[in-house]
Structures are given as structure tokens and as C-alpha cells.
Amino acid sequence: MFEPVLLKNIEVANGHLLSAYEAGGGYQALRKVLSEYTPDEVVELVKQSNLRGRGGAGFPTGMKWSFVPKGGDKPKYLCCNADEGEPGTFKDRIIMERDPHQLIEGLAVSGYAIGAETAYVYVRGEYVTAIRRLEQAIAEAHERGYLGKGILGSDFNFAVYIHCGAGAYICGEETAMLESLEGKRAQPRLKPPFPAVAGLYASPTVINNVETLACVPHIVTRGAAWFRGIGPDKSPGPKLYCVSGQVKKPGLYELPMGIPLKELVEEHAGGPLPGRKIKAVIPGGVSAPVIPERELEVGMDFDSLAAAGSMLGSAGVIVVDDSTCMVKVATRIIEFFHHESCGKCTPCREGLNWVVKVLRRIEAGEGAPGDLEQLDMLCKGIFGNTFCALGDGAAMGLRAALKHFRDEFVAHIEEGRCPYH
């Protein structure tokens, strides 16, 4: 029987307060590492757990931490990516609103591991409640000695600051986030150097997602073997799945990594709305290629979804039923990427503008012969040729829609109208 850990406090009354977090065993992981582990041992523990980053890319967290150079005269920074702008995704907001101390403990343990004394939590500015609760939790943690100087009688000093974003999706890209934190327009940096070597203020910097950091205290208290024992070997652990769209029970579900997408949607989230059938599911936020209904047996983990031609991404699962036009869905997704393109590189800035115009024309019943070939060509020109993954995400999503639902695009062009309107 799977036991949720990341969401165990979510329904607790006043679960955002320190008293509730401590009553559930909170901050025991921080006590444990400060009294029993060296920083290197914490890194090793996280490596053994095989925790892979929950922000989208799935890079092994312990390995990322181990890239931070030892010593040196520059301060080391920990940045928490709480920008959460991927449509379909809301897991980090719920952790920050209802269990912010879980994140703060994760930050403190992770900061100890990498040798950082300062952390910035980059939260999207729209998340006003999350920001307020985090501010309150940081103040409580300071007062109780979980943050500040000489934490719990050790020689570890650690401060957490909140940095509010201001409505730019690109800030979720780690180097663009660093630019934004430095007070510049959020545009991605060329890599290398990678942030672990030269990140914030050109200092060694680790950037982890909220959910990733929330996993860390549980790995400390329950052990790496416990974590590895959940889900597939190559992507283990508990996972938060955000389910939304045309489904009976949208919501946040904590289940083992690797759970079949069909089980998640049809059993846990209640299946399609009355009288409807599922047509397609976007499994990992809008940059994840759409999966048609016939392929929903795929496991919800990094490797299974990659093998199926999609990706876990942010695990923002969007359910689309048979009443919906896939051209309209694809158009709205590309409109999003077009709107959010930072403008730094030409394939993304100009290419997505072109793609949006063609898609809007097709959806309006004004498509022309050759439009689909032109879209194929534009995807080829964008994918792999952009500065960051934003353009890739757009191209991948459109390619999948064109592959699985080409008949709908053709119907729009041939009939000169949207068959769903």
C-alpha cells in the first residue's frame, strides 16, 4: 500500500504553520543531518536514493549537487525554482501554500549538503498566498532556530529569501531565472559554464524545483532504500501528478513514480465527464507531446514516457475529451509559447509567430493546401535550433498533434471550417 509523504500534511488544519509541521515529525531530518552527517554524506545519500529532479528535466539531484566545486572563495547559492509556469501544473503552489515548512526544511538540508549559506526561492508573482505563507514560515523557522546563524547549535548558517517573479514563463529555465535574480530581463544564458560552476553572481549555484527539495527531508528520515523501493529503478520515489481538464476529479495526486497514465486518469481522477470519451492526454505540461487515448497504458516516469515519444516534464496531466478540437488545443499551446518567447533567438521568436498565424488560419477554416507541410517544415526549423528548451517544447507539442491528429487538421483545411464548431 503506497503511503503519501509529500502531501501528508496538506489536509491538516493549519498545516502551513510550524506547530503542525513539527507535530508530524518536521525538522527531524535537519536535526539528523546536522548531528550525524557531513555535507558529503548528505550528497551521497541523495545520490543513493536516485532522486531525479521534479522540475521537468529529471536530472539526478545528487549528481547535480556533486558538481559544485569544493572550497573556493566564492559563496555558494541554492536557488529554488518555484516559478511554475507550465500550463497544467500546480503542484509546487500547493506545497508552498499548505506545507511551506516541508520546502524550508528541504532547502536547509540541501544548503548544508552543497555548502550554501544563502537560498533564494524564486516564486511566480501571481502566487500571493504561497508567498505570504512562505514568508510566515521563514519567520517561524528563524524564531525556532531552524534558519539563521548556528542552526540547532551547529556551525551551519543559512538564510532563505523569497524573490517574486513577475509573469514570465521563461524564468522557469534555470539560467533565465538566474538572469532574473540578478535584476535583468529573463533570457537564457549559453551553457557551459553550468550554474554549478558559475551561476548566480558567477558563483557556484544549485537550482532545484520545489518538489525535488520537498523529497529531501523524507530521504534523510526514511533512507535511500525506502525511496528507491518506490516505482521504477531508474526513476524512483513518490511523485506529484497534477490532473486537470475534462476529467471528473481534477486535483493533485501523490502516487508512485511510474503509475500507468490510464490508471491515473481513469481510476484516481475519475475518468472522463459523463457521456464523454477521452481523446488524448498531455502527460507533462503543454511542452510534453500529446498521447492519444489508445496509448494511455504508458508508465508515468521519465524513461517510459520518453520511450513513448513524450515526457514526464512537470507531470501536469491535461485530459482532453472527444468534444474538443485538437487543432484548437494545438493552437492555444503554440499561442502560449509564442507569447512567452523571451525574444532572444530567431527560430523561437519568429518561427513561433509564423506557426501561430498558420494554425489560427487553419482553425478559422481558412487553411490552404500545403499548410501542414509548412508546419512540418517550421517545426524542423525550430526544434534543436533554439537557445533554450522553450522552442523545442513548442515544436515537440505541435509535431505530436500533427502526427496523432492529422486527420483533424486535414478536415479543417478540406472542409474550410472547424468540424467542432
Q: Which residues bind other proteins (CB under 8 A)?
A: 84-90, 92-93, 120, 124-129, 161, 163-169, 180-186, 201, 242-246, 250-252, 282, 286, 316, 318-320, 324, 328-329, 332-333, 336, 339-340
User: Distance between CA atoms of 32 and 42, rounded to whole angstroms?
Assistant: 10
Query: Which residue, 162, 191, 194, 188, is CA-closest to 82?
Result: 162
Q: Quick one: cell of 297? A: 497504458
**What is the closest distance, in whole angstroms, from the C-beta atom of residue 397 to other proteins in the complex?**
10
Q: Residue 285 in contact with residue 87, Cβ under 8 Å? A: yes
**What is the closest distance, in whole angstroms, from the C-beta atom of residue 251 to other proteins in the complex?**
5
**What is the closest distance, in whole angstroms, from the C-beta atom of residue 103 to other proteins in the complex?**
16
Q: In the complex with other proteins, which residue's Cβ is closer, 156 or 337?
A: 337
Query: Residue 217, SS3?
Result: helix
Q: In the complex with other proteins, which residue's Cβ is closer, 83 or 301?
A: 83
Our CA angle for 375, 381, 385, nearest 5°, is: 145
**What is the closest distance, in whole angstroms, from the C-beta atom of residue 185 to other proteins in the complex?**
5
Q: In the complex with other proteins, which residue's Cβ is closer, 46 or 254?
A: 254
Q: Residue 286 in contact with residue 318, Cβ under 8 Å? A: yes
**What is the closest distance, in whole angstroms, from the C-beta atom of residue 314 to other proteins in the complex?**
10
Q: In the complex with other proteins, which residue's Cβ is closer, 87 or 299?
A: 87
Q: In the complex with other proteins, which residue's Cβ is closer, 332 or 357?
A: 332
Q: Residue 64 in contact with residue 216, Cβ under 8 Å? A: no
Q: Quick one: cell of 183? A: 535584476
**What is the closest distance, in whole angstroms, from the C-beta atom of residue 327 to other proteins in the complex?**
13
- CA dihedral 219→221→223→229, nearest 10 degrees, is -70
The residues, any chain, with a CB within 8 Å of residue 394's CB and separated by 6 or more, are 287, 333, 334, 337, 338, 348, 352, 355, 382
Distances in Å between the Cα of 312 and the Cα atoms of 36, 176, 377 are 35, 22, 26
Q: Residue 337 in contact with residue 298, Cβ under 8 Å? A: no
Q: Quick one: cell of 190? A: 549559453
Q: In the complex with other proteins, which residue's Cβ is closer, 86 or 218?
A: 86
**What is the closest distance, in whole angstroms, from the C-beta atom of residue 248 to other proteins in the complex?**
12
User: Distance between CA atoms of 82 and 74, rounded to whole angstroms?
Assistant: 25
Q: In the complex with other proteins, which residue's Cβ is closer, 19 or 129?
A: 129
Q: In the complex with other proteins, which residue's Cβ is closer, 249 or 380?
A: 249
**What is the closest distance, in whole angstroms, from the C-beta atom of residue 97 to other proteins in the complex?**
10
Q: Quick one: cell of 398? A: 505541435
**Residue 295 gets which letter from DSSP?**
G
Q: In the complex with other proteins, which residue's Cβ is closer, 51 or 162?
A: 162
**What is the closest distance, in whole angstroms, from the C-beta atom of residue 391 to other proteins in the complex?**
17
**What is the closest distance, in whole angstroms, from the C-beta atom of residue 236 to other proteins in the complex?**
25
Query: Which residue, 342, 351, 343, 344, is CA-closest to 394?
Result: 351
Q: In the complex with other proteins, which residue's Cβ is closer, 64 or 328?
A: 328
For the beta carbon of residue 311, count every other beta carbon within 10 angstroms. 21
User: Distance between CA atoms of 356 and 340, rounded to whole angstroms?
Assistant: 13
User: Distance between CA atoms of 32 and 388, rounded to whole angstroms?
Assistant: 39
Q: Beta strand 291-292 with 278-282: parallel, antiparallel or unpaired?
A: antiparallel
Overall residue count recorded for the chain in this entry = 421
